[in-house]
Every structure is written in C-alpha cells, then in structure tokens.
Amino acid sequence: MAEPLFYGLDLDQHSRCRHYHSELDIVALKCGQCQRYYACYQCHDALTDHVFQATSANELHPVLCGVCRQQLSLSDYKTGACPICQSPFNPKCSTHYSIYFKN
C-alpha cells in the first residue's frame, strides 16, 4: 500500500484537518525532522513521538497543495495561491510562518 501524501486528524481530501478546516486551509506542511507532510503542526504533534520542526531555508518543497498534490517551494506558497491549480491559500497562515519555516 502506498504511503499517504499527507497526515493529520479528521482529514478531508484537500488536507483540511480538525484544527484548520476553512475553505482556504488546503496545504500540508513538511516537518523538518521526519520529512512528512502534515495538515498542521498540531496534527503532527498528536500523531508522532517528536514535536514539529520547521523546515530549513534550503528545503526545496516545504509545502504540498492539498488540491492538486503538487509540491511547492516557499516562494510559490507565498504568492497566496497554487501556481498549478490556482487554488487560493489561507492568508492567515502567514502568522504561523515561524512554526513551519526557518529564516
């Protein structure tokens, strides 16, 4: 059986989870330690034996679009919408950048 593309609690098909489930919450973010994509840091911390670690500045694809499943660079993500499927991302996620991305 293939490994899931992303993990989380109470996930829908676009990576919305128990914690973040608005129409715009459609990304999964890579943990710098385990290198798996999670719907959010809270889901990660509930499902693993380590706390979420931000990805390094040189991580090529720290974000996964939950709609088209494309791996994205941080600069792609910061545009506010997926460059492949044009699905918009939640602009409020920018308040969590320090959790997900190292400077």
pLDDT digits (tens, 9 = 90+) for 24-80: 999 999 999 999 999 999 999 999 999 999 999 999 999 999 999 999 999 999 999
**From the CB of residue 61, how many other CB atoms can be counted at a distance below 10 Å?**
15
What single-letter amino acid sits at 100? Y
Model pLDDT, residue 103: 75
Kindly report the CA angle at 80 between 21 and 36, in degrees rounded to 5? Answer: 60
CA distance 3 to 15: 15
Residue 59 lies in a domain: yes
CA distance 51 to 58: 20
Residue 1 lies in a domain: no
The number of distinct structural domains making up the chain is 1
Q: Is the pLDDT of residue 4 over 80?
A: no
Residue 77 lies in a domain: yes
Boundaries of domain holding 24: 6-100
